[in-house]
């Protein structure tokens, strides 16, 4: 069995209690959340069953017991430490069900804590092999739950299902070859009886793919590679090539084309589509791969039963800045031009906020949500393509010498990176955790080698404003206008939560979880957790009270890739703890 189990019970009663738990577990195998419970998660308040607090990942809660008037009184209910020395980059979003909080930790760990006391029930540590190659820290962003199982992905590109009562392994499947640079960090998506995952590894030439597996057995149902020329599979049989071989890739470059689907997906029950973003083409040096390089830097809409791509929209054709396109696509409904529409929104790393008809992929609007976008001066709404500024694409290498360096904003770390935004049904606004920074970037000679970095570029990141890097921005999807913004000195690297209590929550690297007025952006409350907050907050109701929880623990890509920017914040303490808050009882 891959991995090891640690039970939180100690002392002479441990063996008795543990034995009883293990004996009872098979009798409870069918209990737990159903597929319909997951679909209804956005409206239920007594639990959090999905990454994004609903399959559409709007991260909006109808709870209002904690609100703009009383949030200033919110205090810690408890904190639970992850323990050990593995305190790096706690980017997870917790799940809550039946008195238990499930949360993943760095280095591919999963914990179950009592939701009333914070006492650890069990812990699972994946036994990671030597030689794993995560590009952007040893993070994990969350788990999925269904029935008697809790599931998560690991840094050696495995998908693991555990018994949610005991932490014992039910099944463990390799989704890709970690020795070729593949890894996995995203929270899985569950649709009906399928657990759907992507992969990481675009910086190593790993080809992005989406897989659907049987929740009960882990057996592969379908797989859809996202680079043109690769064959899809359905029930063990070929299911059509993705795109058309060499349509937008020259020669054999499609075989190592990148496009990692490293952030996971969303599901829209209204259209029965799943949406996945795809990452950067490989290598970063765009002069080596002429063409649009489909389907990199794109949003894909897929049939969840077959993995067939129904439509795509590419945000950065022929990406030369590592902008990716992997950011979450959030379905929402609104009236545009006097017509009720089924839409989706995406705040892309390239600095533009897109509104798309989610039924067909047609672009409805695109506007900047950052201070500047030097690589393009707008998006053509008729063609859907960027208006490239050709002079701001880094030049090709000259023999063994690097090419001409250019200044690009935003930097490759993005106007918004992995950290999920939220949408309020009450205000009609999206709340985007963004960053204003740029980079000097140049291209270098590169050749593909299995398991080696496949960039062909160098860079130096630097700020573009004297007073901030991070900015939480409220975007109106109908107009593309920024309604309000909160500026933060350090980069924002955590997710966002909004509630019917007229509140928006997010964390900062300085250690704070903060609450803002959803309509005005006024800061209403803050609490310092002792380490940088780069996780995604949640809220739920328990015993008649509303709770708010977030992970604390500084890390992620900024300390590793941020250059001069990272040095500015090098003294932030690392950590690993789950913080839970509520109002004091009257």
Given a cut of 70, whether residue 194 has pLDDT beyond it is yes
* Cα separation, 124 vs 2, whole angstroms: 11
Average pLDDT over residues 526-549: 97
Residue whose tokens read 């992929």 = 361
Given a cut of 80, whether residue 4 has pLDDT beyond it is no
Given a cut of 80, whether residue 10 has pLDDT beyond it is no
Question: Domain segments of the chain: what residues?
Answer: 4-582
Given a cut of 50, whether residue 5 has pLDDT beyond it is no
Q: pLDDT at position 162, please? A: 98
**Rounded to whole angstroms, what are the CA distances from 538 to 52, 67, 74, 189, 394?**
9, 14, 15, 17, 41
Q: pLDDT at position 571, please? A: 80
Q: pLDDT at position 490, please? A: 94
* Cα separation, 222 vs 210, whole angstroms: 8
**SS3 (DSSP) at 182:** coil
- Among the residue ranges 173-187, 234-248, 442-456, 471-485, the one predicted with the least confidence is 442-456
Q: pLDDT class for 357, splitting at 50, 70, 90?
A: very high
Q: Give 274-312 pLDDT, tens digit per residue.
A: 999 999 999 999 999 999 999 999 999 999 999 999 999
Given a cut of 80, whether residue 166 has pLDDT beyond it is yes
Given a cut of 50, whether residue 33 has pLDDT beyond it is yes
Q: Give 557-582 pLDDT, tens digit per residue.
A: 888 888 778 777 778 888 899 999 99
Q: pLDDT at position 559, please? A: 84
Residue whose tokens read 């921005």 = 473
Burial of 82 (0-12, 13-18, 19+ CB in 10 A): buried
**Within 10 Å of residue 136's Cβ, how many Cβ atoms?**
21
Given a cut of 70, whether residue 50 has pLDDT beyond it is yes
User: Looking at beta carbons, which pairs linking 177-182 to residues 24 or more positions away fall under 8 Å?
Assistant: 178/129, 178/131, 178/132, 178/133, 179/131, 179/450, 179/451, 180/204, 180/206, 180/450, 180/451, 181/133, 181/205, 181/206, 181/450, 181/451, 181/452, 181/454, 182/157, 182/206
Length of the chain: 586
pLDDT over 70 for what percent of the chain?
95
Is the preceding omega at residue 509 within 30 degrees of 0, hence cis? Answer: no
DSSP annotation of 316 reads S
**Within 10 Å of residue 343's Cβ, how many Cβ atoms?**
21
Given a cut of 60, whether residue 1 has pLDDT beyond it is no
Q: Is the separation of the CB atoms in 143 and 152 below 8 Å?
A: yes
Average pLDDT over residues 431-435: 98
Query: Which strands form 60-61's sheet, in the order they lie side by side?
Result: 60-61, 496-499, 503-507, 512-517, 523-528
Average pLDDT of the chain to the nearest whole number: 93
Q: Does the annotation mark 177 as catalytic? A: no
Tokens of 361: 């992929």
Average pLDDT over residues 198-203: 92
The CATH superfamily label for domain 4-582 reads: Quinoprotein alcohol dehydrogenase-like superfamily (2.140.10.10)
DSSP annotation of 560 reads H
pLDDT over 90 for what percent of the chain?
86
Chain centroid offset of residue 495 CA? 9
* Cα separation, 93 vs 72, whole angstroms: 23
- Better pLDDT: 88 or 362: 362
- Among the residue ranges 4-13, 176-185, 461-470, 545-554, the one predicted with the least confidence is 4-13
Q: Give 80-115 pLDDT, tens digit per residue.
A: 999 876 778 999 999 999 999 999 999 999 999 999
What is the phi/psi pair of residue 559, to 5°? -65, -25
Given a cut of 80, whether residue 20 has pLDDT beyond it is no
- Better pLDDT: 29 or 490: 490
DSSP string across 519-557: TT--EEEEEE-SS---S--EEEEETTEEEEEEEE---SH
DSSP annotation of 42 reads T
Q: Is the separation of the CB atoms in 167 and 143 below 8 Å?
A: no
Q: What is the number of alpha carbons within 13 Å of residue 359 lying toward its C-beta?
A: 5
The catalytic position among 125, 322, 324, 436 is 322
Q: pLDDT class for 326, splitting at 50, 70, 90?
A: very high
Q: Give 442-485 pLDDT, tens digit per residue.
A: 999 999 998 888 999 999 999 999 999 999 999 999 999 999 99
What is the phi/psi pair of residue 224, to 5°? -130, 100
């Amino acid at each position: 069995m891959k991995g090891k189990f640690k039970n939180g019970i100690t002392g002479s009663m441990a063996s008795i209690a543990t034995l009883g738990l293990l004996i009872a577990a098979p009798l409870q195998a069918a209990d737990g959340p159903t597929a319909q419970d997951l679909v209804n998660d956005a409206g239920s308040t007594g639990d959090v069953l999905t990454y994004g607090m609903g399959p559409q990942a709007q991260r909006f809660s109808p709870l209002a017991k904690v609100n703009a008037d009383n949030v200033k009184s919110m205090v810690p209910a408890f904190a639970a430490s992850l323990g050990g020395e593995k305190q790096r980059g706690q980017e997870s979003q917790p799940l809550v069900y039946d008195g238990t909080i499930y949360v993943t930790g760095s280095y591919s760990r999963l914990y179950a804590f009592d939701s009333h006391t914070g006492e650890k029930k069990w812990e699972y540590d994946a036994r990671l092999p030597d030689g794993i190659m995560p590009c952007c820290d040893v993070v994990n962003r969350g788990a999925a739950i269904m029935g008697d199982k809790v599931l998560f992905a690991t840094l050696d590109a495995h998908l693991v299902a555990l018994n949610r009562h005991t932490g014992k392994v039910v099944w463990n499947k390799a989704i890709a070859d970690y020795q070729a640079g593949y890894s996995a960090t995203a929270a899985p998506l569950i649709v009906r009886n399928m657990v759907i995952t992507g992969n990481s590894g675009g910086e190593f030439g790993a080809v992005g793919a989406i897989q659907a597996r049987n929740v009960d057995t882990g057996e592969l149902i379908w797989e859809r590679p996202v680079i043109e020329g690769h064959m899809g599979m359905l029930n063990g049989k070929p299911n059509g090539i993705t795109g058309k071989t060499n349509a937008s890739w020259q020669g054999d470059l499609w075989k190592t084309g990148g496009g990692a689907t490293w952030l996971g997906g969303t599901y829209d029950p209204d259209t029965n589509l799943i949406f996945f973003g795809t990452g950067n083409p490989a290598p970063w040096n765009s002069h080596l791969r002429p063409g649009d390089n489909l389907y990199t830097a794109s949003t894909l809409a897929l049939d969840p039963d077959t993995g067939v791509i129904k439509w795509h929209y590419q945000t950065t054709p022929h990406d030369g800045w590592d902008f990716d396109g992997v950011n979450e696509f959030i379905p929402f409904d609104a009236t545009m031009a006097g017509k009720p529409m089924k839409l989706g929104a995406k705040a892309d790393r390239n600095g533009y906020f897109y509104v798309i008809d989610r039924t067909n992929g047609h672009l409805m609007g695109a506007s900047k949500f950052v201070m500047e976008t030097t690589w393009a001066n707008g998006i053509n709404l008729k063609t859907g393509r960027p208006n490239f500024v050709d002079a701001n694409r880094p030049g090709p290498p000259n023999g063994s010498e690097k090419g001409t360096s250019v200044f690009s904003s935003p930097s490759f770390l993005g106007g918004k990176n992995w950290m999920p935004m939220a949408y309020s049904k009450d205000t009609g606004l999206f709340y985007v955790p963004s960053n204003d920074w740029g980079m000097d970037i140049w291209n270098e000679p590169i050749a593909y080698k299995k398991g080696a970095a496949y960039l062909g570029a160098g860079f130096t990141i630097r700020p573009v404003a004297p007073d901030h890097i991070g900015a939480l921005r409220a975007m109106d999807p109908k107009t593309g206008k920024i309604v309000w913004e909160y500026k933060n000195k350090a980069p924002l690297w955590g997710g966002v939560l909004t509630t019917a209590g007229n509140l928006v929550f997010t964390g900062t690297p300085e250690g704070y979880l903060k609450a803002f007025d959803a309509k005005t952006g006024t800061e209403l409350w803050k609490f310092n957790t002792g380490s940088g907050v780069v996780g995604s907050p949640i809220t739920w109701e328990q015993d008649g009270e509303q709770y708010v929880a977030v992970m604390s623990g500084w890390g992620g890509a900024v300390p590793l890739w941020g250059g001069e920017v990272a040095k500015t914040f090098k003294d932030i303490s690392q950590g690993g703890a789950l913080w839970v808050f509520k109002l004091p009882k009257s």
